[in-house]
Amino acid sequence: MEMIDLLSGLKNIKKGFFVEETEQVQRVYIDIVDYVMLHYPRSNADLFLDRADPFVIAQAKVHNAIVVTHERLVPPESNKVKIPNVCERFDVKYTNLYTMMRALGARFT
């Protein structure tokens, strides 16, 4: 895929991108907040919950989408709240940018 084709493809994805705060998304979001608050130190939980990450994960769960992140899975005993760990806990697929680009067949020439 040439760069111009990739840009066209991304524009089409943007048109289909969804952000909606439905009751179902809110319920999953609340479940994520409750889980993070219960299982992580308050300062780390607050840092994670102050960002859009829990909302993005809730959206992905409801819409059966894949979260793209640069974060890596950390061991269960870690005090750090990481997107991959929360995704796994809520059965949400995730990947990194490079894997996504390879899967899309993106090539920069």
- Let me know the angle formed at the C-alpha of 17 by 12 and 20, rounded to the nearest 5 degrees: 160
Asked if residue 14 is part of any domain, the answer here is no
**3-7, 11-15, 81-85: segment of lowest average pLDDT:** 3-7
16 located within any domain? no
**What's the mean per-residue pLDDT of the chain?**
85
Could you tell me if residue 109 is inside a domain?
A: no
- Contact present, 92 and 57 (Cβ < 8 Å): yes
Instruction: Answer yes or no: is 15 within a domain.
Output: no
The answer as to whether 93 is a domain residue is yes
Provide the domain limits for residue 32.
3-9+21-104
Q: In this structure, what token pair is assigned to residue 36?
A: 């993070």
**What is the number of domains present in the chain?**
1
Segment 57-76, tens digit of pLDDT:
999 999 999 999 999 999 99
